[in-house]
Structure 1
Amino acid sequence: MIIERAYAHVSTYEDDKWPWSVPCVRRLLADGLRFTAPVTFLVGENGSGKSTLIEALAEGFGLDSWGGSHDWRYASHRGKSVLGERIRFDATPGGRRMLGSWSARKGFFLRAETAMDALHREGFAPDSVSHGEGFLAAFRGKFLQPGLYVMDEPEAALSFSSCLELLGHIDQLTQQGSQVICATHSPLLTALPGADIVEVGEHGMHRVQWRELALVDHWRRYFADPQAYLRHVLD
């Protein structure tokens, strides 16, 4: 473990303005977010704020908001978000050493929509393979050192078998002392044994078991009877 708790202090804010209007952000301001396992999954519907939250966590650790490794500090020339610049951490002793020295800080922020650009920027050019294979090449070639690995919907480019391979990489990272924080819609990824799952939504944030996840329930019901869902969206 590297980070035990993330929090943000804002003296005043307008709760009808983004990002303060997002329930999970308000919950972060009120209570912070504790990390109790080496892998934490943030799960929620589109628009729930999980990507806003995970980008801010990456920025708080010093990772480029565009995506990339600790070696490329704001290489995209984007400044920190209004939330990211306020993120602070309670860390383990090893985490404090990382946060206290830029040269000691290790990690990577992978966001689905900019991952290939970030990899090209770092001299990693998987042009001869598919989009999904490029993602896996990143996991094999860039996710190596113990550090903080932040991911935003990595399953977007991955097949079922590739998601399983990603879980293998995540497991290897955590065995080496890394910590992973991942926003996802994937019932496959969130089934990782020992992972902490935080569901994000109108309620803010709360911890759930895999079997209690709304997305798991929906997929289970869909596979059992697709027409029960399709009749609502197809003419």
Structure 2
Amino acid sequence: MPCVRQLLTEGLRFTAPVTFLVGENGSGKSTLVEALAEGFGLDSWGGSHDWRYATQRGKSALGERIRFDAAPRGRRMLGNRAARKGFFLRAETALDALDREGFAPDQVSHGEGFLAAFRGKFLQPGLYVMDEPEAALSFSSCLELLGHIDQLVKKGGQIVCATHSPLLTALPGADIIEIGPHGMRRVAWKELAVVDHWRRYLADPQTYLRHILA
């Protein structure tokens, strides 16, 4: 996988408080965010710094090789497990995260469960890793998520998010890394392939649908 090979040979430098990883299904962006979460000490199935899932798994081969070269504040956190704060939110385990937040699955929707995790756990300075959070969110809920991200950044949080969402990646000041056969490369929002596709589709859906529908 080109992005994994590049990560192992060149590393990945975080240049902004929020980093978005964008790419097609199978490009490796979820592999990268899972490995980053594992390298920080978060459960690979998702969850916060203060709990782990009952179904334990060992770290992935890539997660075992992740090492953080942190700034001074980050080094203090990495050197003291009690000071290590963060959360790994992944779509596949959202219902478990919802349970851990104290909500029964039949009390709120999938998307409301995601937002409950943001409101209840994304509070303190630390590393917050997300894998396609928009999967459960409406347009307006994605905008609410951006508000939570903005507040967390102002408190000193660092966020890494794998996403397909042009809405989320439009966050001012965010670093965007496009993942594909080329590996990893930094791009501007307007240069993202997914942004171009959405613009074209919304302007004239038939330009795409005529190739799909018999």
Q: Tell me the TM-score normalized by structure 2.
A: 0.97
Partner in structure 2 of residue 136 of structure 1: 115
Map 1:190-205; keep pairs closer than 5 Å: 190-205=169-184
The one-letter code matched in structure 1 to 2:109 is S
User: How big is the shift at 1:130?
Assistant: 1.0
The one-letter code matched in structure 2 to 1:78 is R
Return 5+ residue gaps in structure 2 as ranges: none
Return 5+ residue gaps in structure 1 as ranges: 1-21
**Equivalent residues, number:** 213
Q: Equivalent of 1:125, from 86, 92, 103? A: 103
User: How big is the shift at 1:214?
Assistant: 0.1
Q: Equivalent of 1:45, from 24, 45, 65? A: 24
Partner in structure 2 of residue 9 of structure 1: none
* Paired-residue identity, %: 82
User: How big is the shift at 1:75?
Assistant: 4.4
The one-letter code matched in structure 1 to 2:167 is L
The Cα RMSD (Å) is 1.1
User: How big is the shift at 1:233?
Assistant: 1.0
Partner in structure 1 of residue 76 of structure 2: 97
Q: Equivalent of 2:95, from 116, 128, 136? A: 116
User: How big is the shift at 1:210?
Assistant: 0.1
Distance 1:199 1:178, change over 3 A: same
Pair 1:215 & 2:203 matched = no
Secondary structure of residue in 2 paired with 1:43: strand
Q: Which moved more, 1:156-165 or 1:70-79?
A: 70-79
CA deviations over 1:55-108 (Å, ceiling 9, x no partner): 000000000000000012464311110100110011011111111011010000
Alignment partners' CA distance in 1, 2:202 and 2:167 = 14
User: How big is the shift at 1:28?
Assistant: 0.5
Pair 1:32 & 2:7 matched = no
Secondary structure of residue in 2 paired with 1:83: helix
Secondary structure of residue in 1 paired with 2:130: strand
Map 1:158-197; keep pairs closer than 5 Å: 158-197=137-176
CA deviations over 1:8-47 (Å, ceiling 9, x no partner): xxxxxxxxxxxxxx10000101111110000000000000
Q: Tell me the TM-score normalized by structure 1.
A: 0.88
Q: In 2, are the aligned partners of 1:63 and 1:74 still within 8 Å (CA)?
A: no
